Amino acid sequence: MKILFCFPSSGSAANMYLPWKVLLAQQNIELVALEYPARGTRFCDNPVNSIAALTHDLLDQIKPKIKHTTEFAFLGHSLGGLVCFETTRLLGKLKLPLPSQLIISARQGPLCNLPSSLSSRQTDDEIIKTLKTMGGIADEVLAHTELMALMLPIIRADLKLNEEYSCSDTSAISVPITAIYGSHDPVVEKRNVEQWSSFTESGFELIEMPGDHFYFNQNLPLFLTTIAQQLRNKMTII
């Protein structure tokens, strides 16, 4: 069975991918949702303060799974797209097996340090207002004061990780990249997603899907069928 490691977006936990698990299993794909520190099942763990620290942390979840297989891929949504890319770089530096494919979802290229409509320096109300336009979090959750009091510090910390990230290595990786974006994403533009093409020497594909920043929630079966097709096309046992 193929393994798809999934990297969460800002403020999210591994459970954002739970609705995908059964549908992908029907396609003979095992979904492994990675858990960042300080959230979900690791809520009591200390948060990390850099993308580099996060990639090293995630190796403990990845290495046992790839020890006996080379048939795996990475998928990251939004911030998770950047994290899975840097994790791939780390695997290469450590001479560990590389994924057969990266699927980058709703994420601009590593060199796009553009001002964002979502910032760690915004007030709570401003962050909530922007999150509402992005989709992905139900309105009733955004309006729930106690829940948001728990979520906002995590979201703000993730935004800071993104803001303080600097792409120090502009060389291309030897892994094909598929970049997917929503046609009406309010924070990610197509031209910036296309930048990922310069970071791979093994093939690049750009896919537009209808929807906002969390476009896959608008038609999850269609999205997962697209993912399964991508994995069938790119994955080979090395």
Compute the distance between CA of residue 10 and CA of residue 116 in angstroms, rounded to an integer: 13
68 burial level (CB within 10 Å; 0-12, 13-18, 19+): exposed
Cα separation of 1 and 129, whole Å?
A: 41
pLDDT at 129: 83
Q: Note the pLDDT of residue 67.
A: 83
Euclidean distance between the first and final Cα of the chain, in Å? Answer: 14
Structural class in CATH, domain 2-110+169-234: alpha beta
- Residue 140 has a pLDDT of 83
Residue in the block written with tokens 């533009």: 189
- For the chain, how many residues are written? 238
pLDDT for position 11: 83
Least confident interval from 18-32, 48-62, 64-78:
64-78
CB 225 within 8 A of CB 90: no
Per-residue pLDDT, averaged over 54-75, amounts to: 91
Q: Average pLDDT for residues 192-214, to the nearest whole number? A: 95
